Amino acid sequence: MVTEESTNGRTNGGGVGDIAHAVEPAAQDFSFMDLAAKITIVRMGHVYYKHKDVERAQKFLEAFGLTETKRAENKFYYRGYGTEPFVYCAEKADEDAFGGVGVIVESIKDLVLARKIIPTASQIYELKDTPGGGQCVTFTDPVDGFPFHLVYGQTPIAPSADYPFLEFNFVGRNLKNVERFNVFPNVKQRHAGQYQRFQKGPAPVHKLGHFGICVTNFEQQYKFYTTKFNLKPSDVSIGADSRDPSLQ
């Protein structure tokens, strides 16, 4: 799915813990809010997973190219080399479980709208112990019951200084005035016969680009996320036995 241009208390299996610090939005009048409007998702933010063997999960995440950025009780936060405060939260738990995805919304208005149009939406609460902070509303997916987190006001971080940048060599004179090649130097970076070699190690991860999940009722999921949010399909593969003719 792509975006179009632009229960109160704890939710079952949530990845952010107790909703204990509920806050009210800044003094704005939302009484005349259009309840037919869609919640505006700007981008993916992060995912939460619970691990029975969190030490094993940590080893995998670090070998995969993520960097630990914070620990808070039984939660371990990992970042990429970009500006997202974290992209993966691994939580020590008795059983493995999906703790939900966190998406960044456009404004506080989207959090208020979520509370009004999604029955299981929590109060707006502060992400006090989470990298980047911000405010959040968590709701339970209406079909399969996994948590879904809407985040606003998260503070970005500086890109990682440890990113293993390699200098490009020069490009031909006929390309130096082409806009898309402006990132390349137009003078030699090294002498002939000298070569660059990649160092062996994890490939650095930039950010969270997408996530996938298996669902038990595709048609209901599709209707919910395309009517409540600014999501639309980029590609859809439909079998001949689809129950919903509108998806044919």
Cβ contact 43:101 at 8 Å: no
Instruction: Give pLDDT tens digits for 28-69.
Output: 666 667 888 999 999 999 999 999 999 999 999 999 999 999
Average pLDDT, whole number, for the chain? 84
CA dihedral 109, 110, 113, 119 (to 10 degrees): -150
Kindly report the number of other CB atoms within 10 A of residue 27's CB atom.
Answer: 5
- In this structure, what are the phi and psi dihedrals at residue 47, rounded to the nearest 5 degrees? -130, 155
Are 105 and 124 in contact by the 8 Å Cβ rule? The answer is no
Nearest-5° angle of CA 245, CA 36, CA 15?
85
Higher pLDDT, 194 or 126: 126
Percent of the residues in the chain that have a pLDDT greater than 70, as a whole number: 73
- What is the structure's pLDDT at 179? 65
- What is the spatial order of strands in the sheet that 125-126 belongs to? 67-72, 75-79, 88-92, 41-51, 97-105, 147-152, 135-140, 125-126
pLDDT at 7 exceeding the cut of 50:
no
> Does 80 or 161 have the greater pLDDT score?
80
With 90 as the cut, is the pLDDT of residue 224 above it?
Answer: yes
149-180 per-position pLDDT tens digit: 999 999 999 998 887 777 666 665 566 566 66
User: What are the structural domains, with CATH classification, of the chain?
Assistant: 2-17+37-159+204-240 (3.10.180.10), 164-197 (no CATH)
Please name the residue that has the structure tokens 């966190």: 102
* β-bridge pairing 147-152 and 97-105: parallel
- Output the pLDDT for position 82: 93
Q: State the average pLDDT over residues 86-94.
A: 98
Q: Which residue has the higher pLDDT, 237 or 139?
A: 139
**pLDDT tens sequence across 107-133:** 999 999 999 999 999 999 999 999 999
Distance CA 205, CA 17 (A): 26
